[in-house]
């Protein structure tokens, strides 16, 4: 089969081919053609969805030239390629982003106007692919954008879930989940590749023998097989000709399979087998940090990893040739441990299918993979029971045992007699039931290991991977996360983008975010400050309007500070600390209605894992506090509380531009990096935050005087925990704190029910694993300082401008360049337009 995944013939360069031309006239003609020839409609009868599809195809057509050309250049030049292996991609809507990256937003808008189309309504029509939970999945999406933009050949491999992250409704204050049917109306951005498909096997047993040359060979006789089919989405870089590939796998029953059963007459059995196969890519597990440990989850992981590695081997054999150079052609980045089974799978394919001896296969494997860790939370560290592995992946279990045997021998030689260390480092956890430690497999099978922010990368070395760090410190790195300024400034905050462009040169800052520095010298300029404020207020107006139409809360964008916390609901992120502050302000206002305070809108957004009771109760608490405050005329001129339902990429894009204050208040040492912190700050919000994750580096960049810091350091947290933390003492030692917690259980927020929020309050008073009570006072004091500064607009605006000016480091382009230079050893392969 030919190598490129799109036709190899590049159409002759005809600048105004109506199917690809970028002029307004071409766009208009192409749009009308697509509406007619693809949707089968003309304007008068077209539905909003038809209008969107025509727009999507018009844009996609303009990406395909570049895609084909990229594939050709990458192929003929044997370009080294990054394969990003991730179980999640939280992409967000494509249309607006692709228009920006093609550089045709403006001309498309004008073309739309002349066709009398409602451009905004068309953008709104797109259903976002929510193929991820939160930070980890969104990071993968930002990295795909940046890989293309910095012109690095890359393939993103993952799963084409039929149902992505659930949609969240709020009913009676509670989260209610609805299934996400994003494919219902078709997906114009993907191209199915039914001919690119691989068998993936499960279960059965292994048979060991020797070949004629006396080499040992293994045959895996599986008892279930599914077929993984490729669906490709082009990922265009900003202002470049490079288009990379996002290849997601859908599970299907192999064509031959049901006939076998059908022929013996078991028609129902055949259909059942089909459903069982399709189940594998049916739905995304909605757990953000803690692991589900479900069999289907392991099946999903192995499914996409096996397809991806088989695809890489196929590509290599078709282009470069001998598998001995596999690791020179490819570097594979493991996005957390979810794809860590890839280490055993590559070993299996090289040895069992391609007859390579162990040492050669191990050399290639270990030089192919690199592993990124995204969390230190013990409950999120993936382990699988040996029994489950044995049942599902018997051959891989053998390989893991052999990796472990050889690895532990090196540990023994290095640390004579230290069997405790051997047990700690083993790939098998023998304490309790025997379990496979996926992080250990990922580390042992990788050339490089990295954390996602400076603090996190340091903590990895002193906590969960300490023994591994001691043994080979040279393999440990830091790559601080970043976010794409295309989506999170240009697409979502066009007014700010336009203002920045006046100072930082058209286009320049969008590809080199360090250019934002040019704003610095104008930070005190009253004229810029006035316009800065106008831009912020306009974004707040947009959000206020949207919120009033969706959920009904009315906020005043002119007078109120917009104080926003938007992220997954989790105790370690401490949304309840924010709530305690709201309750304190409420009580102050009730005691002194004439308290001259800066009015604030407290805005929340975030989904809770469906099985995470405490997180769901926090949502209910926020909505219950909102109900009381928003309906109390004594206070609702000063404070209001809003919970934005269904926080996803699209809704995030409404929030980030409108924030005055960004809440990044996790317990120090718990948030690996955070990326929302960067999105808010890039849009001119000031941060109230702890010294956690990337907050530390954000503060270093923007200057301590432009960041509202509070709370314990990770080191103080560690010490306090070691001493024995007693939240009870804080509760009894601080009258205001006690009164705030008591108000939660008083029934005021629960129509007299004093039990509803008792689990939350009791947990805080008795356990408080994330030390909300210990940081409460520092947080309140910090919030008071914040209100004072907000009262001095010139000062606030200067700080806000400086935040944006100094955010260059947090572009995901910088992160990708770091990976390319320090970890991947890969050069850009520029493709012009
Ligand atoms: C989920 C399950 C297992 C292991 C890790 C996770 C995980 C970690 N999911 N999201 N994260 C977040 O990843 C982001 C990107 O690196 C970080 O910014 C954030 O702090 C993590 O919580």
Strands, E assignment, 58-139: 81-85, 89-90, 130-131
Range(s) of the chain covered by CATH 3.40.50.2000? 78-93+128-480+817-824, 525-807
Ligand 1, pocket-test mutation among 88, 338, 672, most atoms within 8 A of CB: 672
Residues 173, 623 contacting (CB under 8 angstroms) = yes
- Sequence-distant (≥ 6) Cβ neighbours of residue 12 within 8 angstroms: none
Residue 265 has pLDDT above 90, yes or no: no
Residue ID of nearest Cα to ligand 1 atom 19: 674
pLDDT attached to residue 2? 39
Helix axes of 105-114 and 24-37: crossing angle, nearest 10 degrees: 70
Mean of pLDDT values over 819-828: 98
Ligand 1 neighbours, Cβ below 6 Å, are: 134-136, 139, 288-289, 291, 336, 374-375, 380, 452, 481, 671-675, 693
Burial class (CB within 10 angstroms; exposed 0-12, middle 13-18, buried 19+) of 444:
buried
Token output for 21 = 């031309």
pLDDT tens by residue, 73-117: 999 999 999 999 999 999 999 999 999 999 999 999 999 999 999
Residue at token pair 């044995």: 390
pLDDT at 198 over 80: yes
pLDDT tens per residue, range 748-779: 999 999 999 999 999 999 999 999 999 999 99
pLDDT at 8 over 80: no
What's the confidence (pLDDT) of residue 271?
Answer: 81
What sections of 130-245 are H helices per DSSP?
A: 135-149
Asked whether the ipTM of the predicted complex exceeds the cut of 0.90, the reply is: yes
Taking the CA of residue 408 as centre, how many other CA atoms within 13 Å lie in the half-sphere pointing to its CB?
20
pLDDT of residue 3 exceeding 90: no
Per-residue pLDDT, 5: 45
For the segment 696-725, the average pLDDT, to the nearest whole number, is 98
> Tokens representing 172?
């009676």
Q: Which residues contact 21 (CB under 8 A, 6 or more apart)?
A: 15, 27, 30
pLDDT of residue 4: 41
Confidence class for position 811, pLDDT limits 50, 70, 90: very high
DSSP string over 640-690: EEEEESS--HHHHHHHGGG-SEEEE-PPTTT-S--SHHHHHHHTT-EEEE-
pLDDT tens by residue, 522-562: 999 999 999 999 999 999 999 999 999 998 899 999 999 99
pLDDT at 353: 97
Q: How far is the CA of 723 from the centre of ligand 1 (A)?
A: 29
Residue 13 has pLDDT above 90, yes or no: no
Average pLDDT over residues 236-245: 98
Long-range CB pairs of 423-430 (<8 Å, 24+ gap) are 424/467, 425/467, 425/468, 425/471, 427/400, 427/403, 428/386, 428/401, 428/404, 429/383
- Locus of tokens 């709201």: 582
pLDDT at 484 over 50: yes
Pick the CATH number of 525-807 from 3.10.110.10, 3.40.50.2000, 3.40.50.1820, 1.10.287.1770: 3.40.50.2000
| Beta-carbon-side half-sphere exposure of residue 604 (alpha carbons within 13 Å) | 29
- Residues marked active site are found at 374, 567-568, 573, 675, 679
CA of 579 to the centre of ligand 1 (A): 24
| Joined tokens for residue 238 | 């900003």
| 78-93+128-480+817-824 fold | Rossmann fold (3.40.50)
pTM: 0.97
Paired strand residues for 176: 169
Ligand 1 centroid distance, CA of 131 (Å) = 14
Taking each helix axis as running N to C, give the angle between helix 526-549 and helix 494-504, from 0 to 180 degrees, rounded to the nearest 10. Answer: 160
Average pLDDT over the chain, rounded to an integer:
95
**Residue 814: its pLDDT value, please?**
98
**What Rg value do the Cα atoms of the chain yield, rounded?**
27
| Res. 457: pLDDT tops 50 | yes
Ligand 1 atom at minimal distance to the Cα of residue 372: 16
């Amino acid at each position: 089969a030919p190598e490129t995944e799109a036709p190899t013939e590049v159409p002759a360069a005809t600048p105004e081919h109506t199917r690809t031309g970028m002029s307004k006239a071409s766009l208009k003609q192409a749009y009308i053609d697509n509406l007619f020839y693809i949707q089968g409609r003309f304007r008068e009868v077209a539905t909003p969805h038809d209008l969107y599809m025509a727009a999507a195809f018009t844009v996609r057509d303009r990406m395909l030239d570049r895609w084909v050309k990229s594939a050709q250049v990458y192929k003929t030049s044997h370009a080294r390629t990054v394969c990003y292996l991730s179980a999640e991609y939280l992409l967000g809507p494509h249309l607006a982003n692709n228009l920006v990256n093609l550089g045709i937003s403006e001309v498309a808008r004008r073309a739309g106007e002349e066709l009398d189309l409602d451009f905004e309504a068309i953008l709104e029509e797109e259903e976002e692919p929510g193929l991820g939970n939160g930070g980890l999945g969104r990071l993968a999406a930002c990295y795909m954008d940046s890989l293309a933009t910095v012109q690095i050949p890359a393939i993103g491999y993952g799963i084409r879930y039929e149902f992505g992250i659930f949609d969240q409704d709020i009913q009676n204050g509670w989260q209610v989940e609805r299934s996400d049917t994003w494919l219902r109306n078709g997906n114009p951005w993907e191209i199915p590749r039914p001919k690119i498909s691989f068998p993936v096997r499960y279960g059965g047993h292994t048979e060991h023998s020797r070949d004629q040359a006396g080499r040992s060979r293994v045959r895996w006789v599986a008892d279930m097989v599914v077929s993984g089919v490729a669906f490709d989405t082009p990922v265009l870089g900003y202002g470049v000709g490079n288009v990379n590939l996002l290849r997601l796998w859908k599970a299907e029953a192999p064509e031959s399979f049901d006939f076998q059963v059908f022929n013996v007459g078991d028609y129902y059995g055949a259909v059942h087998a089909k459903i069982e196969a399709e189940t594998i890519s049916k739905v995304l597990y909605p757990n953000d940090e803690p692991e589900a440990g479900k069999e289907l989850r392991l099946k999903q992981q192995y499914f996409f990893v096996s397809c991806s590695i088989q695809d890489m081997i196929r590509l290599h054999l078709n282009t470069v040739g001998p598998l001995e150079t596999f690791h020179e052609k490819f570097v594979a980045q493991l996005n957390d441990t979810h794809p860590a089974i890839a280490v055993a799978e590559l070993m299996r394919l090289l040895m069992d299918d391609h007859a390579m001896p162990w040492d050669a296969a191990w050399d290639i494997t270990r030089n192919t993979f690199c592993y990124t860790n995204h969390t230190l939370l013990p409950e999120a560290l993936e382990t699988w029971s040996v029994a489950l592995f044995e049942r599902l992946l018997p051959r891989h279990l053998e390989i893991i045992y052999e990796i472990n045997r050889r690895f532990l021998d090196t540990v023994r030689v290095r640390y004579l007699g230290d069997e405790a260390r051997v047990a700690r480092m083993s790939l098998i956890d023998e304490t309790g039931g025997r379990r496979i430690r996926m992080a250990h497999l990922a580390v042992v099978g990788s050339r490089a290991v990295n954390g996602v922010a400076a603090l996190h990368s340091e903590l990895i070395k002193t906590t969960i991977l300490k023994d591994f760090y001691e043994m080979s410190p040279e393999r440990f790195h830091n790559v601080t996360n970043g976010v794409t300024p295309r989506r999170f400034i240009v697409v979502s905050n066009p007014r700010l983008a336009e203002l920045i462009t006046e100072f930082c040169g058209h286009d320049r800052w969008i590809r080199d975010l360090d250019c934002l520095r040019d704003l610095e010298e104008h930070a005190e300029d009253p004229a810029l400050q006035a316009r800065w404020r106008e831009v912020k207020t306009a974004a707040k107006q947009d959000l206020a309007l949207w919120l009033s139409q969706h959920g009904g809360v009315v906020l005043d964008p002119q007078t109120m500070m917009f104080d926003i916390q938007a992220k997954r609901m989790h105790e370690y992120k401490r949304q309840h600390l924010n709530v305690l502050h709201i309750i304190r302000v409420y009580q102050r206002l009730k005691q002194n209605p004439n308290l001259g305070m800066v009015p604030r809108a407290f805005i929340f957004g975030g989904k809770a894992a469906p099985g995470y009771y405490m997180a769901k109760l926090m949502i209910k608490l926020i909505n219950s506090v909102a109900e009381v405050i928003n309906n109390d005329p004594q206070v609702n001129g000063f404070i209001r509380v809003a919970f934005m339902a269904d926080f996803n990429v699209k809704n995030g894009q409404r929030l980030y531009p409108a924030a005055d204050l960004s809440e990044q208040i996790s317990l120090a040492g718990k948030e690996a990096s955070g990326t929302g912190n960067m999105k808010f700050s890039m849009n001119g919000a000031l941060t109230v935050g702890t010294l956690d994750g990337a907050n530390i580096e954000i503060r270093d960049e923007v200057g301590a005087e432009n960041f509202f810091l509070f709370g314990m350091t990770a080191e103080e947290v560690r010490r306090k925990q070691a001493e024995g933390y007693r939240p009870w003492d804080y509760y009894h030692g601080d009258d205001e704190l006690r009164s705030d917690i008591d108000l939660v259980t008083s029934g005021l927020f629960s129509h007299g029910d004093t039990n509803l929020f008792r689990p939350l309050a009791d947990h805080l008073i008795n356990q408080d694993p994330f030390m909300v009570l210990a940081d409460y006072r520092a947080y309140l004091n910090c919030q008071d300082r914040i209100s004072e500064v907000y009262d001095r607009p010139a000062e606030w605006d200067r700080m806000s401008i400086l935040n944006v000016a100094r955010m260059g480091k947090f572009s995901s382009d910088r992160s990708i360049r770091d990976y390319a230079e320090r970890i991947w050893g890969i050069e850009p392969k520029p493709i012009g337009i």
